[in-house]
Amino acid sequence: MNPNPKPLVLVLCTGNSCRSHLAEGILRAAAGDAFEVASAGSKPAGHVHPLAIRVMHEIGIDISGHRSKHLSEFLSQPVHTVITVCGNADQACPIFPGQVNRHHWPFDDPAHATGTEEEQLAVFRRVRDEIARVFGAYAAGRRDR
């Protein structure tokens, strides 16, 4: 067992199909090996949205191996930081063992985008880019410590 495990940052949303996976992928890429990153949901959808996978591929991040999971999978391990990316997850978020920090940064849910595939992709890209700005800045701040 590793005596000095990396701190775990857990990104939560309701469905764990879009926003939390976008954030997990972006934060993992931006943080390097500074900390572990995972995502989960309070009511997991059971899949990662194909358009989320597609827009992340466009920026060179592969989330095709991610899976939708329930936040209860993390209740027995020390979680250093919890970041909620939607209002419902913020309200449903339990306190995790070892939790030191909690942040709430809400983003629109691209899974609710309507219109043509291109119109939906535009929403996914916008949300991805908003998440990249916020989580990129967070990772840069954490690395500076």
Query: Following DSSP, what letter does each residue of 1-36 receive, concatenated?
Result: --SSPPPEEEEEESSSSSHHHHHHHHHHHHHTTSSE
Give the active site residue among 8, 13, 30, 56.
Answer: 13
Give the active site residue among 71, 93, 121, 131.
Answer: 93
Q: Which amino acid is at 59?
A: I
Give the active site residue among 86, 111, 121, 127.
Answer: 86
13 is an active site residue: yes
18 is an active site residue: no
Spatial separation of the C-alpha atoms in residues 89 and 83, rounded to whole Å? 9
Which phi and psi (to 5°) does residue 138 adopt? -60, -45
The catalytic site residues sit at 13, 86, 93
